[in-house]
Amino acid sequence: MTSADGTPIGYDQLSSDGPAVVLVGGGLDDGTENIPLADHLIHGFAVVNYRRRGRGDSGDTQPYSVQREIEDLAAVINAAGGRAHVFGASSGGALALEAAAAGLPIDRIAVHEVPYLIDEFLLTAWRKYRVELAAALEAGDPDEALRLFMRLAGSSEEGIAAAETAPVWTALRALAPTLRYDAACLGNGRPPAERLAAVTQPVLLTTGVTGDPHSAGLPIDFYTAAADAVAELLPDARRTTIEVAGHIADPAVVGPILAGFYTD
81, part of any domain: yes
Question: In 3D, which of 56, 11, 34, 20 has the Cα closest to residue 175?
Answer: 56
What pLDDT score was predicted for residue 251? 94
Are residue 174 and residue 194 in the same domain, yes or no? no
Are residue 113 and residue 96 in the same domain, yes or no? yes
Are residue 165 and residue 223 in the same domain, yes or no? no
Of the candidates 161, 182, 203, which is a domain's last residue?
Answer: 182
Q: How far is the CA of 214 from the CAs of 86, 111, 247, 248, in angstroms?
A: 27, 21, 9, 11
What pLDDT score was predicted for residue 107? 98
CA dihedral 99, 105, 107, 110 (to 10 degrees): -20
Are residue 17 and residue 100 in the same domain, yes or no? yes
What pLDDT score was predicted for residue 85? 98
Of the candidates 159, 182, 205, which is a domain's last residue?
Answer: 182
What pLDDT score was predicted for residue 215? 82
Longest dimension (CA), the chain: 49
Q: Using only C-alpha atoms, what is the Rg of the chain?
A: 17
Look up the domain containing 135 and give its range. 120-182
What pLDDT score was predicted for residue 262? 98
Which DSSP letter does residue 63 get? S
108, part of any domain: yes
**What pTM does this model have?**
0.97
What pLDDT score was predicted for residue 216? 80
What pLDDT score was predicted for residue 244? 77
Are residue 204 and residue 95 in the same domain, yes or no? yes
What pLDDT score was predicted for residue 245? 72
Are residue 69 and residue 30 in the same domain, yes or no? yes
Give 205-253 pLDDT, tens digit per residue: 999 987 777 788 899 999 999 999 999 999 999 999 998 777 888 899 9
Per-residue buried b or exposed e for 41-66, using 16+ beta carbons within 10 Å of the residue's own CB? bbeebbbbbbbbbbbbebbeeeebeb
What pLDDT score was predicted for residue 212? 76
CATH value at residue 73: 3.40.50.1820
What pLDDT score was predicted for residue 232? 98
Query: Which residues in the chain come in under a pLDDT of 50?
Result: none
What pLDDT score was predicted for residue 58? 98
The domain tally of the chain equals: 2
What pLDDT score was predicted for residue 35? 96
145, part of any domain: yes
Are residue 34 and residue 94 in the same domain, yes or no? yes
What pLDDT score was predicted for residue 60? 98
109, part of any domain: yes
Are residue 178 and residue 231 in the same domain, yes or no? no
2, part of any domain: no
What pLDDT score was predicted for residue 6? 98
What pLDDT score was predicted for residue 249? 80
